[in-house]
A and B are shown apart, each in its own frame.
Chain A
Amino acid sequence: MFRAAHGLIATTVNTAPRAALCRACDVAEAVAALAQPGAAAVAGGTDLCAGFNAGLTPSLLVDLSRLEVLRGIEITTEDIRIGALVTHAQGSRDQGLRAALPGFAAAWGMLANPRIRHRATIGGNIMARHTRYEMSLLLTALGARLVFAEGEQTPAQVWNAAPGLLTHIVIPRHAGQRFIYMRGLRPQLTLAVHRHAGGGLAAIGTEWLHPVALALADAGLEELPETFADHVISRWYARRAGAALLARGMEALDAA
């Protein structure tokens, strides 16, 4: 078979680094493997493979697919507990989740596209730690906790530190809980509104900025940090457009 000489074709054909593979059978094995230098977890692999083009060269790939405890969604009166390996397609179609928090299930179903949704996981979306990925913003509005084998963190904390193995995402439940995600201006700006009998939160984000939580009462987004601007939008624009999205979201939740 004809093969072009190395260098004549782009490195897009096989960009995978020569990495060892650990098919972890339990959480302890995965944690130990991930503690090794150069190790990377593999959930769906959809972001990791793209990372190879960007120069990522892990020396050990840790396959999480055998960790059944990282699958499934459990719903109690207190909270919704989502396994890190739940895919976007599974999560957004889960009957229990659709009944408990339909706005969040609908928002989850909007992420990415059909080719990605069936493989990509909630855990991978968070742990890829790209501001253009939206799950962190949704979870910020929901006041969710991220459960790692090593302890708990908030979505905001994960931007700064990279703990080991994410096992679950926990969303607290509240009386009268409602959620809506306003995505029409993506990638410039998106905003999620989470309201319940005891209060709630909004979260705003852009393709380039970490999501920021906002009080629902802050209709003019006055508390938006001074630094909330990127090379596409100014803080002024974020406040104007964000305030409109917040008002629209609140209206939609009233009508729901």
Chain B
Amino acid sequence: MPPETIRFTLDGRAAAITAEPTEPLAHALREHCGAQGVRVACSRAVCGACTVLVDGLPAASCAMFLWQVEGCAVETVARLKAHPLQEAFARHGAFQCGYCTGGFLMLAKALLAENPSPSRAEIAEYLSSNICRCTGYSVIIEAVEEAAAAMRAPA
């Protein structure tokens, strides 16, 4: 397959990747855009480490092709610098090795966009598709609860 130039926005900036359009999105983001916050573990959409937002909706970037984001807005964890979620995760120690953290943060961002006041059960249910093998999930859920409260608070 000859390379093509696929244009989209990445973390708010115009991006263009010239590559085989059938490359997996996660691979393309890491290799061509240096988006190392996109982690690949299972490569079958099961673990959630590669979660990005595509036009605001969560997606497993290991199970998408590069061509599928043509003209879309792609967001990775790099977008969350100094975001209440990032700060809450740090405060709660909601990571150990950190491999899964980017995926959790992006999924949590999608949840709070959809539901700014989720209950603890709703957070657990929404995040249950992502896997963490060291921290345990309680601190992650607590961090999301705290970030949600911070984001609801008047500026």
Q: What residue of chain B has the Cβ atom nearest to residue A46's Cβ?
A: B63
Q: Which of B35-79 contact A (CB under 8 A)?
A: 40-46, 48, 51, 54, 57-60, 62-65, 67-68
Interface centre among A14, A21, A23, A46 (most CB of B within 10 A): A14
Where the two chains meet, the residues of A that have a C-beta atom closer than 8 Å to any C-beta of B are 12-16, 18-21, 23, 42, 45-46, 48-50, 52-53, 61, 63, 65, 89, 112-116, 118-119
Q: Chain B 19-43 against A: per-residue CB contact (8 Å), 1 yes, 0 no?
A: 0111110010010000000001111
Most buried by B among A18, A53, A119: A119
The SS class assigned to the A binding surface is mixed
Once the chains bind, are B22 and A116 in contact (CB under 8 Å)? no
Q: Say yes or no: is B80 at the interface (Cβ < 8 Å to chain A).
A: no
Q: Which of B20, B22, B41 contacts A12 (CB 8 A)?
A: B41
Given A16-B65, A19-B1, A61-B65, A115–B129 Cβ distance below 8 Å? yes
Given contacts A14-B24, A19-B1, A63-B67, contact A50 B58 (CB under 8 A): no
Beta-carbon contact of A119 and B22 below 8 Å: no
Q: Which residue of B lies closest to A23 (CB)?
A: B67
Chain A residues with CB below 8 A from B43, complex form: 12-13, 15, 49-50, 52-53
User: What are 7 A-B interface contacts by the 8 Å CB criterion?
Assistant: A13-B27, A18-B22, A46-B45, A49-B62, A115-B58, A116-B129, A119-B57
Most chain A CB within 10 A, of B40, B54, B60, is at B60
Closest 9 CB pairs of A and B: A113-B129, A50-B44, A12-B43, A49-B63, A118-B57, A14-B27, A115-B58, A46-B63, A115-B60
